Amino acid sequence: MTTKHLNRIYPLSREKVTIHDAFWAPRQEINRTKTIPYQYRQCKRTGRIDAFHLDWTPGKKKPHIFWDSDAAKWIEAASYSLTHHPDSELEVLVDDVIDLIVSAQQDDGYLNIYYTAVEPEKRWTDLEGGHELYCAGHMIEGAVAYYEVTGKRKLLDAVCRYADYIASVFGTEEGKMKGYPGHEEIELALIKLYRVTQNEKYLELSRYFVDERGTSPHYFDMERQARNHEGHLKPVVGHLEGEDVNKYHQSHLPVREQEHAEGHSVRAMYLYSAMADLAYEIGDENLFNTCKRLWSHLVHKRMYITGGIGSSEKNEGFTSDYDLPNETSYAETCAAIGLVFWNHRMVQYECDSKYTDLLERALYNAVLAGVSLDGEKFFYANPLESKGDKHRSEWFDVACCPPNLSRLLASLEEYIYSESDHDLIVHLYVQSRLQTELAGKKVTIEQTSNYPWEPQVDFAIQLQEKARFGLKLRIPNWTSRYRLEVNGEETDEGVTLEHGYVRIERDWQDGDTVSLTMDMPVFRNYAHPAVKDAVGKVALQRGPLIYCLEQADHEASVFAVELPESSDFQVVFEEDVLNGIAAIEAKAYARTSASEELYQTDKSFKETAIKAIPYFAWDNREDGAMVVWMKEY
């Protein structure tokens, strides 16, 4: 449920869209039948569910400060899955978990495992690192999702009580705390809660948390002093001082004064998502311009070619401009998911294909690499190079990424289309059926494609009666030429190109068809020369997919491969490899050694064949090295 503001567009809800796509539908099915049940078992096994009994005693394993969020994201993923796949057993299981969660709520509305069972006397004393407001945000998102899908209010009513309590604690009024979360999340969650309840208190609380962040006197500086510089975040940022530590959680300046993407990358994405949401809801052009400024800096200075962000494990985030190492890249899965969230919000405010292009890049590469093809192993960090020692894990102590992946995959329907009063906008090319109303008329759109392997997308329009509206189709930044046909014929009538979307306005009739065919060549990407790990190297791309070399396909070491500038590429679809992929083949050369001497005066090569596979599919076979950036000569 989303409100319309200032002629913005708004995403079409999940229940209006059904995916039956050869690429995404199987992944959603694996997510539904394997990953979501698997994650519940992991949450149960590790104590994340039973911790809501609040029966921790000294000597037992302590609940983590963020366990609430793992359970909440699982509820959110399960809720989205129920949209198109009613499952009474899953719904009963979610109800049982919700009953347990609600039983843990305190009389004043407070709801948090750690600060109720372990350190109740320290409630709200470590906003910088305690994750209380972060966990509250995820619980709100889970409650909103379950209510939207099932109509059940138990968890929604509980989080409303919690949000009301939080609003009584924080704010600018006398007697209230002027704090804000160290890990952003509640800001965007409160806007979701506002949209479903229309209670403006929640919108105003979100605005408070955004506007108060980074103001002077600095709240976290005062909080640290009150805690004698102890706290949950000390092991991570204890060595930093002043602005450097505050950059970690984007509180070094008031948000409207920020110029650069700084600090912990997941925190940044959740903050920027909330800023875009808030700008949308209240029509704040200044706040949206801040988002645009931060977006431009991130995209042009601090983002991996896969859409991964955050180059350092030390702070799980950004370092300096162009510092994008390959083997040690962090590129947390949650950060790429956050990048999808942010760009989805940006394009609703300003329908520009650059936001959807980036959403697509992150989704098909940095996000999708985060989960194995069988749906039960996960990457936390996503390197762009490996000696063969990097592998997905079954679970993590800090398990934010697995349920985050699940909730995104289960809600993919809402990222495909948007509407305005006069236009239907297609952002992503995913074979699907859309049923909606536009210009007062019922409209059904059947989108057919074999994307991302093939470049043609077809649309069949079904109408009960003739209707006039605009159909906008994104022209991705990876294509230089496209062909547009209406009812089998090329046409320019009523066709315009607006910010990367081709718009066709006409009187549509039942049975009309539109076909978009794009050039989808293999092309070479080169990094800015300041990216030292990519100097003299090339990365291959076809459509939205970034490719890599995996040792499983090569006799020569992938680190020794050098791709001639003159090499041509052949695209070969291999149905039996990695669940079916389009591989890229080419002739190349591999460095060899004339002797066993460590250092030699001559260099020699041998001709070799290379096969590049989509980056998202790496590490699903035997152990072996991997490179995205290969040498070129």
In order, the DSSP letters of 57-125 are -BTBPPPPTTHHHHHHHHHHHHHHHHHHS--HHHHHHHHHHHHHHHHT--TTS---HHHHHT-GGGTTS
**Which of residues 518, 549, 568 is at a domain's end?**
518
Predicted local distance difference test score (pLDDT) of residue 510: 97
Three-state DSSP at 335 gives helix
In a domain, 13, yes or no: no
568 and 505 in one domain? no
In a domain, 201, yes or no: no
Say whether the peptide bond before residue 217 is cis (omega within 30 degrees of 0): yes
In a domain, 514, yes or no: yes
Distance of CA 620 to the CA centre of its chain: 21
Residues 76-114 as b or e (16 or more Cβ within 10 Å = b): bbbbbbbbbeeeeebbebbeebbebbbebbbeebbbbbb
Domain count across the chain: 2
DSSP state of 312: B
494 and 531 in one domain? no
Strands (E), 287-359: none
620 and 554 in one domain? yes
Contact 607, 589 (CB under 8 A): yes
User: Nearest-CA neighbor of 447 among 479, 481, 413, 419?
Assistant: 413
pLDDT at residue 231 greater than cutoff 50:
yes
The answer to pTM > 0.85 is yes
User: Nearest-CA neighbor of 194 among 205, 209, 180?
Assistant: 205
The tokens for 528 are 């800015």
Predicted local distance difference test score (pLDDT) of residue 1: 36
Mean pLDDT of 9-24: 96
pLDDT confidence bin for 4, thresholds 50/70/90: very low
pLDDT at residue 177 greater than cutoff 90:
yes
Range of the domain at 509: 418-518
552 and 478 in one domain? no
Task: Give the count of beta carbons closer than 10 Å to the beta carbon of residue 180.
Answer: 24
pLDDT at residue 124 greater than cutoff 80:
yes
574 and 488 in one domain? no
The tokens for 141 are 């998102």
DSSP state of 365: I
In a domain, 571, yes or no: yes
Q: How far apart are CA 362 and CA 341, in angstroms?
A: 10
Mean pLDDT of 343-361: 98
Q: What is the largest CA-CA distance in the chain?
A: 79
553 and 469 in one domain? no
Mean pLDDT of 458-475: 96
In a domain, 229, yes or no: no
Residues 298-318 as b or e (16 or more Cβ within 10 Å = b): bbebbbbbbbbbbbbeebbbb
In a domain, 598, yes or no: yes
Please spell the DSSP secondary structure of 547-572, one letter per residue. EEEEGGG-SS-TTTEEE-TT---EEE
In a domain, 442, yes or no: yes
pLDDT confidence bin for 7, thresholds 50/70/90: low
628 and 533 in one domain? yes
Mean pLDDT of 265-280: 98
590 and 554 in one domain? yes
pLDDT digit string, tens, across residues 573-608 = 999 999 999 999 999 999 998 888 999 888 889 999
pLDDT digit string, tens, across residues 31-89 = 999 999 999 999 999 999 999 999 999 999 999 999 999 999 999 999 999 999 999 99
Q: How far apart are CA 178 and CA 175, in angstroms?
A: 9
Average pLDDT, the chain: 96
Predicted local distance difference test score (pLDDT) of residue 6: 56
470 and 536 in one domain? no
**Which of residues 468, 493, 518 is at a domain's end?**
518
DSSP state of 31: I
User: Which is more confident, 122 or 241?
Assistant: 122
pLDDT confidence bin for 494, thresholds 50/70/90: confident
528 and 448 in one domain? no
Mean pLDDT of 181-186: 98
Q: Catalytic positions, please? A: 316, 400
Three-state DSSP at 531 gives coil
Q: How far apart are CA 436 and CA 471, in angstroms?
A: 13
Give the sign of the dihedral formed by CA 95, CA 96, CA 97, CA 101. positive
In a domain, 292, yes or no: no
Cα 110 to Cα 97, 133, 139, 347: the distances in Å are: 18, 11, 12, 35
pLDDT confidence bin for 3, thresholds 50/70/90: very low
pLDDT at residue 308 greater than cutoff 80:
yes
CATH number at residue 444: 2.60.40.1180
The tokens for 123 are 């409630």
Predicted local distance difference test score (pLDDT) of residue 2: 41
The tokens for 372 are 């194995």
User: Nearest-CA neighbor of 614 among 574, 566, 587, 557?
Assistant: 574
**Which of residues 499, 518, 537 is at a domain's end?**
518
Q: How far apart are CA 366 and CA 370, in angstroms?
A: 7
Task: Give the count of beta carbons closer than 10 Å to the beta carbon of residue 154.
Answer: 14
Contact 65, 120 (CB under 8 A): no
